[in-house]
Chains A and B, each alone.
Chain A
Amino acid sequence: MHALVGENGAGKSTLMKILYGMQKPDEGTITVDGEQVTFNSPADAIARGIGMVHQHFMLADNLTVLENVVLGSEKLHGIGSGARKKIKEISERYGLGVRPDVLVEDLGVADRQRVEILKVLYRGAKTLILDEPTAVLVPQEVDALFDNLRELKSEGLSVIFISHKLGEVLSVADDITVIRRGTTVGTAIPAETTPRQLAELMVGSELPTPETAESTVTDRPVIEVKNLTIRATGGSSLGELDEPASTGLLTESTAESAAAVRRVLDDITFTIHAGEVMGIAGVEGNGQTELIEALIGLKNADSGSIAFLGEDITAWPTRRRREQGVGYIPEDRHRHGLLLEAPLWENRILGHVTERPNAKGFWLDPKGAQEDTRRIVKDYDVRTPGIDVTAASLSGGNQQKLIVGREMSHAPKFLIAAHPTRGVDVGAQAAIWDHIRAARREGLAVLLISADLDELIGLSDTLRVIYNGRLVADADPATITPEELGSAMTGAASGHLEHVENATEGDADAGPEDDAR
């Protein structure tokens, strides 16, 4: 099992794309089983036994697992019982636990990932490439995934995986390659390496920790959400993000709530004060998206209210909220944060078109915007040859740095930060954390949503757990561990989470006011 780690834009994804035949190398060779090969397309790579599991799953929701697996390789084992037998065989052999006749839309994230892995094995892959496979999983699921991978390894298959989580890399990989700026800068043997050493190898600087030094929480409420409820509109048209990512044991409760009009947000109440970071932990698809959209004004509340600095903003349109000082780091930067084919300086205007330095009254101010983009590029270390290149040509982490820089430039009073460091390398991660911390000292209120539990625990002053549209638990970030938080995220625990063996208390509905601080 070989792990590949490196900064953003270091070339990890490019390397994987070349290995999988999606891109052609300019120079150099690839050798498979001692034989030099050239791949013109993924089909060539598959023929050589190389398969890839993408970060974003490529599954058709409305088809069954079986149909998804045979799609595109109908010739291998047919589409009927032969294929079913083969799927069951692979599933049993590697302990994947995949049921061939379930609809993919009924599966949770972890199950979908296993389907993706099975899909690759079905095509006869001997080498699996996994692109950040753990990014979307909770700790328990990560452990299960690693068990699967070890199983594959013991059967003689090779696994290459990319990850930003150094701890994981060290615990599971047999060999580690570190690349930086397109070249291999080192290799490491996990047994002899600490995460800190590995990170230093990656960026040549110290491993940052997201720990907040001293509390800056004031008693000045910035955002007050009361009894916020949003109902699902029109059932199935919701799209996959709104579907709670339920693992097998949760399907009953989802089926139950689907019968009634589902509440994607159910009676959410919280207050964030100036200088406070409130973290929300939860498996993706449990209402985070809706909460963010309600706060930024993309979704209307069915009931409940949102107050910003004492003023009721429930009916305010998005633009007014942003003008008044609500910053927004979206969870999907490509869909909500960038105009991919527009130059960087136009992206700097996006979301703040009515504000200085982007506009003077009715007119745009391209000079001002360009000037300020150069400043952001410099201050936030956005790696780009210039501000006239399109946003699409930057790597994901650099795009994120631009977005963070843009939002912080308008001195927000309340920042919605959804996965602010997703896909960002350790060095940039530290810089982003520093910016958030600095703003927090000056009275910024932050709603932090992140799949990275270390980041949540390290950065937050208050922690809440969202499950099935409800804030079911709260925790003190000073004492909680990622494992405890992870179990609450699957709905196993609720109420106030204490750092003790049995953390369950009866109080299912977290108190209306945050009591953690």
Chain B
Amino acid sequence: MKKFDKERVLLAVAGPVIALVSAILLTSVVLIASGKNPFEPYRLMIEQATFSDVQVLIVNQASMYYLAALAVAIGFRMNLFNIGVDGQYRLAAMMTAVVGAHLALPSFLQIPVLMLVAMFTGAFWAGIAGVLKTTRGVSEVVATIMLNAIATSLIGYLTLSNVWGVQVGNNMTTGIMKNSGWVPGINLGPDVGEIYGLVFLAVVAGILYWLVLNRTRFGFDLRATGASETAAAASGVNARKMVLTAMLISGAVAGLSGLPLLLGDAHTYSLSFPTGLGFTGITIALLGRNNPVGIAFAALLIAFLDKASPALDYAIPVAYEKEIATIMQGLIVFAVVISYEAVRQWGLRRQQKRVGAELAAAAQNTNKEVAA
């Protein structure tokens, strides 16, 4: 039995390791092709990661990535591709900011209410795609991509100054949120910065994700649907209900992913609020193999590339383009998809062989016993 456990760990680790190594090698090829030192940028970035202020930035960024990736992973676990995490996240962040700017409850009520607003908005936006899929058979991929575009326009409209927007200089914001909705962080000193309080939300979400998927009936049904829709239906899973539920949960988690920044630091939704979080979430969910621990490592890695790369522009004596990190992220996606599929097939074949071999060995033993 132990052997198969080891086997599984090996398989689980082999995919990401192969992907990362090949992504790094390919990035080096790009660097060589552009006439640069192929290794120096990595050293510079790793050096960056030793500074505590960069570490704080990485952790903060990773918490948002983590939530977004969980949202994507929930869909992935049942073969739903929620590309709309980005739209769901932005719309949810904006709605939360608006509610937070106009509603003033005591903190212990205000923060849960804001979280609920974020979850409901995200779930609602994802739910549109879910309803379209279950009632009209519209592919959730197409629907969520379109909903992303619609969310952009909707946010643009809602943040106009004659709707809910407040102009601050050149920036359109939703006004500063009431103090009771601010989540205090962990202050590590003026030079280092503050870790968002809602980093813990990401941790809790990760634990819940694992618990629900692996230890509840609902989670089993969800995973079964992802593994084989026909087998799940035959086992009594209502596929439509499952699709809709998964989309709603995915959207709700997507809605939460902007909160660490919004409630911890920005306190307003503005034009400078980060976009693309949902797409990075897809990369991270893929790299982390939809596994809560894997996603955590993947989120930290991508956050590291994000936060350590700007220094490349100012490196002395030779500056490097910080876009190297972006290239690397793109290559990781490619490498991940290819290496995981290869490792999966290899693993399946290998296991089949081993099972065959073990059975043959067992058979031989019994034969010998009979003969003896």
Contacts and interface: CB of A to CB of B under 8 A. Distances in A.
Interface of A: 9, 11, 14, 181-182, 296-298, 317-323, 328, 330, 335-342, 346, 349-354, 359, 362-364, 366, 383-386, 388-390, 392-394
A351 B227 contact: no
A389 B356 CA distance: 12
Nearest to A321: B236
Contacts of A392: 348, 351-352
B355 A384 contact: yes
B171 interface: no
Contact of B360 (A182, A317, A350, A364): A182
A322 B219 contact: no
Interface in B172-210: none
25 contacts: A296-B234, A317-B238, A318-B234, A318-B235, A318-B236, A318-B237, A319-B236, A323-B236, A336-B230, A336-B233, A336-B234, A337-B231, A339-B227, A349-B220, A350-B224, A350-B231, A353-B220, A359-B217, A364-B215, A364-B219, A386-B4, A388-B5, A389-B4, A389-B355, A393-B355
Contacts of A319: 235-238
Main secondary structure of the interface of A (DSSP, over half): loop
A56 B223 CA distance: 28
Contacts of A297: 236
Ranked nearest first, the 5 interchain pairs of A and B with the lowest CB-CB distance are A319-B236, A351-B235, A181-B363, A336-B234, A385-B358
A338 B236 CA distance: 13
B359 interface: yes
Interface of B: 1, 4-5, 214-221, 223-224, 227-228, 230-238, 348, 351-352, 354-356, 358-360, 362-364
A350 B233 CA distance: 10
B228 A335 contact: yes
Contacts of A366: 214-215
A223 to B, nearest CB: 18
Contacts of B363: 181-182
Contact of A354 (B214, B217, B233): B217
A506 B145 CA distance: 62
Nearest to B218: A362
B228 to A, nearest CB: 5
A338 B227 CA distance: 9
Contact of B228 (A182, A322, A328, A339): A339
A384 B355 CA distance: 7
Contacts of B237: 318-319
B234 A341 contact: no
Contact of B355 (A182, A328, A352, A394): A394
A109 B4 CA distance: 41
Interface centre among B4, B227, B234, B363 (most CB of A within 10 A): B234
Nearest to B241: A317
Nearest to A323: B236
Contacts of A350: 224, 231-232, 235
A385 B360 contact: no
A339 B223 CA distance: 10
Contact of B220 (A335, A340, A364): A364
Given A296-B234, A318-B235, A353-B221, 9 more contacts: A181-B364, A318-B233, A318-B234, A318-B237, A330-B234, A350-B232, A386-B1, A393-B354, A394-B355
Given A362-B217, A363-B215, A353 B235 contact: yes
Given A388-B1, A390-B351, A363 B234 contact: no
A262 B112 CA distance: 56
Nearest to A364: B215
Nearest to A297: B236
B223 to A, nearest CB: 8
